[in-house]
Amino acid sequence: MPGHRTDNPDLTRYATTRTAGGLLFIAGISARRADNTIPGVRTLANGAVELDALTQTLGCFDNLQILLQAHALDLAHVVDVTCFLVNMNDYGGFVDGFNQAFSGINPPTRTTVAVHQLPDPLLNVEIKAIAATSGSA
């Protein structure tokens, strides 16, 4: 499942999606690909790691779209997102990615918070979402 770790069941013993009351609840999702790689990670010549918030935000929404399609939905059905950033200095790149993802459709409500860290040090963005399961938002 893209966006979620699958290599350690003890770390992923939760539902990635759950439906209730006409809504689809989607657990926090990252840019992690199905092959366990993470877009937006660049190792510099000196060994330092650079994380690109725009690329990771777009990766989160790509993975969200995959989960939504499994329920015959798309981003137009998303009514609310909660977004977690490791560094608020990445807010500009995050907003650019958010705006690209929802270009041409009615965007959801959004809460964005800074967190101390995410489960993988190569992640700087995570997004959880709620989507309407009938009609569009």
pLDDT tens-digit readout, 109-135: 999 999 999 999 999 999 999 999 986
pLDDT tens-digit readout, 19-78: 999 999 999 999 999 899 999 999 999 999 999 999 999 999 999 999 999 999 999 999
Q: Is 113 within a domain? A: yes
- In 6-124, beta strands by DSSP E: 17-20, 23-29, 41-43, 49-51, 78-85, 109-114
User: Which pTM value belongs to this model?
Assistant: 0.88
Q: Is 137 within a domain? A: no
pLDDT-derived band at 2, boundaries 50, 70, 90: low
Contact 125, 55 (CB under 8 A): no
Q: Is 74 within a domain? A: yes
pLDDT-derived band at 100, boundaries 50, 70, 90: very high
CATH number at residue 53: 3.30.1330.40
